[in-house]
Amino acid sequence: MDFKEWNNPFQNQFQGEFWNNFNNLFNGAHSQPRVNLYQSGHELICNVFLPGIKRVGDIHLSVNGSTLEVSGSTSLEYNGFQIIQQEFPHGSYKRIVELPFSVRKDKIDASYKSGLLTVRLYRLIPVNEKEKLGIPIRDEE
């Protein structure tokens, strides 16, 4: 019996956050890469644990407002060997990270070393459109 069948009788009793925590454990959330997020002022550092990356080009990053998406595929296969214990998954992954604020798209730095993807992001500070911006005038005399 899988977890979905097991929890059906309990769905009416416990709803919302209670089951969401367990559903994430049993419905594949554990197969997503693990993330640490750090903030200092207007700067964020997002570390993503990605073992088994053969080419950095296999990691896909995108940012939209206050969301960072990391996707791709890892491979940890050994020819002639059968896996008998698996504590960190391999294969396709997709992780969406909710950031505490919107970030600039023009100022993102990402690097990968020893199984760790490090992404540096910077807060997007919107310009108040009602604010008048001074325009410098060049003196050509």
CA 59-104-56 angle, 5° bins = 15
Residues 60, 115, single domain; the answer is: yes
pLDDT digits (tens, 9 = 90+) for 22-50: 544 444 444 689 999 999 999 999 999 99
> Does residue 62 lie within any of the structural domains?
yes
Residues 61, 4, single domain; the answer is: no
Cβ neighbours for 79, distance < 8 A, ≥ 6 positions apart: none
Joined together, the tokens standing for residue 84 give 């008998």
> Does residue 133 lie within any of the structural domains?
no
Residues 39, 26, single domain; the answer is: no
pLDDT digits (tens, 9 = 90+) for 42-72: 999 999 999 888 889 889 999 999 999 999 9
CATH of the domain at 42: 2.60.40.790
Residues 71, 48, single domain; the answer is: yes
Lowest-pLDDT range, 21-30, 76-85, 122-131?
21-30
Question: For residue 15, what are the domain limits?
Answer: 1-31
Query: Into how many domains does the chain fold?
Result: 2
* Cβ-contact 97, 46 below 8 angstroms: yes
